[in-house]
Amino acid sequence: MHLRALLSLLLLPAWLGSALVAAAATPEQAARKLVSFLDGIPALGPGYAVVVVDRDRQLLGYARGTRNVASGAPLTMHTPMYIASQTKSYMGLLAQRLDQRGVLRLDSTLAEHWPQLQLPDGVDQAAGTLADLLNHRVPLSADAITTLEAYIGSPEPALYPSLLSTLSSKRAEGFDYDNLGYNIYAAILYQHTGKRWQDWLQEELFTPLRLRETGARTRAFDATQLAFNHQWLGQEQGWRVVVPKPDAIMHSAGGMMTSPRDMGRWLRLQLGGAVPAGDYADALAAAHRMGAQVDTNARNAYELPCRGYAFGWNVCDFEGRTLYIHGGSYTGARSMMAFSPDLGVGIGVFSNSDNATGWLTSRTVVQFFQYLVDHPDATSWANTRQQVYPQRVADQLAGMRARQATEHADPRWQGWQWQPTVMDRAAYSGRFQGERLPVEAVVREDSTGMQLQIGALARTLQPAVVDLFGAQDGPLDAVEPLQFLRDAQGQLMGFEFDGERYRRCDGQDCQRKN
């Protein structure tokens, strides 16, 4: 079969056309088959790791490649790797423990914690509970806040009521996956207890569970031991190395690093395995209860029918068995973890690249469970996935280049013909204050050209038209417009970028709001 035909075939959910199985493989047998499957993908890199466990032990520890192509250091089962949104499951269990101990009640409401909060019309702050926040049920949207947390820098928790009053809008009722609820919960947790979410995780989960290669602050690790993220730029340029996230943007909805070994311990806990200290059974049972129903026909990254969400876990179905699953993605990294209480096993998958690995991490999880239940099509699916992965990588790169070329040719850039002088460029440099966001921006020129810095966010600026620059991160990333603004006298007064305005504030009046 031609590779492109195979790619079309793979768009179908893996569970379609399945048949009842007469017997199941042992977890050890399924793990051995999974190793053969992964070894049959030679182009997989820079690093890839898989851990498989039952409630009592680790059944597979698979690690290949490097954690950083610049150093050539190997990726191992002990390498801390960024897991992005999988942070939510740890926060969900923490929230249940704090609720059961009476530290912070999950049935308390936004109005109880922030009586001064003003939300958009139609959103009742007395109705939404903290449990609803963690199950994505509070009908609020605030993209500016989630962008701030994930890319610029987490605001002080005390600012959240005013930020929500200014930046949030009402969305449709019901479940809608977002980072906002977890970020609000973390702000309330700090206000209520005086202790940050990172410290609560360390004290309640990481230390007692002996997760020694797990943390919610990047600075807690030796940088030489960390997995760096990577983006594939093609054969001529190779890998672009993306440094680990700084602490400022390690937030409660996506701000953890853990090793494959430690994720194995985490999955054993979900399965009811013994823990070294403390009783987690009641909190786990509560964290595994669905807090929101979802449309089972909705498309998702797992290509499985999922019926609900439970405090950081998607609750899905695999061949009639319940599967708890959650993924994580960020620039240059993809990961996924899942466990089935019915089958008694869990699996964690890590990649330190985004080189079509969002698809591959989910397919690795599904492939393992297909082996485990002796799915009649497991072998054919494995062969197909091995064959199509290189083509998916090539198609992804080609697609990114095509999108970038289309964006670069947009008429608004007017052919990128403007070539400002040194004096012209100097006029744009300076410090700027966000009008709505509590952040300061800096525009400056260095040896590589014009640069924009807003907290942890950095962009290179390319001149296009007078007062208009294209802002870009990596060489394959989209070009975003940065438009400078002038007053009635023609003086530069600020700029607009990513939907936010920043006013010039050189001198004593440039004060950070946070």
Question: Which helix or strand (DSSP H or E) is residue 440 part of?
Answer: strand 440-446
Interval 236-281: pLDDT, tens: 999 999 999 999 999 999 999 999 999 999 999 999 997 877 789 9
User: What is the token pair recorded at 96?
Assistant: 């249940």
Is residue 11 scored above 60 in pLDDT? Answer: no
Confidence at residue 300, expressed as pLDDT on a 0 to 100 scale: 85
Q: Write the pLDDT tens digit of every residue in 248-259.
A: 999 999 999 999
Contact yes or no for 433/423 (Cβ under 8 A)? no
Tokens 């060489």, residue located: 475
Alpha-helical (H) ranges within 120-179 are 130-134, 143-147, 160-167
Q: Which pLDDT score is estimated for 511?
A: 58
Please report the pLDDT score of residue 24 as a whole number: 64
CA 85 to chain CA centroid, Å, is: 4
Both structure tokens of 280: 């987690």
- The tokens describing 60, both together, are 């597979």
Residue 51 belongs to what H/E stretch? strand 47-54
Q: What average pLDDT score do residues 94-119 get?
A: 96
pLDDT digits (tens, 9 = 90+) for 360-417: 999 999 999 999 999 999 999 999 999 999 999 999 999 999 999 999 999 999 999 9
pLDDT of 1 reads 41
Q: Are 222 and 79 in contact (CB under 8 A)?
A: no
Residue found under tokens 């049935």 = 107
Q: In this structure, what token pair is assigned to residue 4?
A: 């492109």
- DSSP for 259-273, written as a single string: -HHHHHHHHHHHTT-
pLDDT digits (tens, 9 = 90+) for 164-214: 999 999 999 999 999 999 999 999 999 999 999 999 999 999 999 999 999
Tokens of 167: 């930046």
Return d(Cα 49, Cα 46) in angstroms, integer.
11
Check if the beta carbon of residue 372 is closer than 8 Å to that of residue 249: no
Residues 6+ apart with CB under 8 A from 320: none
Beta bridge partners of 232: 239
Q: Give the mean model confidence (pLDDT) for residues 84-97.
A: 98
More confident call, 295 vs 30: 30
Q: Is the peptide bond before 46 cis (omega within 30 degrees of 0)?
A: yes
Q: Which residues of 169-184 are buried (b: 16+ CB within 10 A; e: fewer)?
A: eebeeebbebbbbbbb
23, pLDDT greater than 50: no
The pLDDT score that the predictor gives to residue 43 is 83
pLDDT digits (tens, 9 = 90+) for 435-482: 999 999 999 999 889 999 999 999 999 999 999 999 999 998 989 999
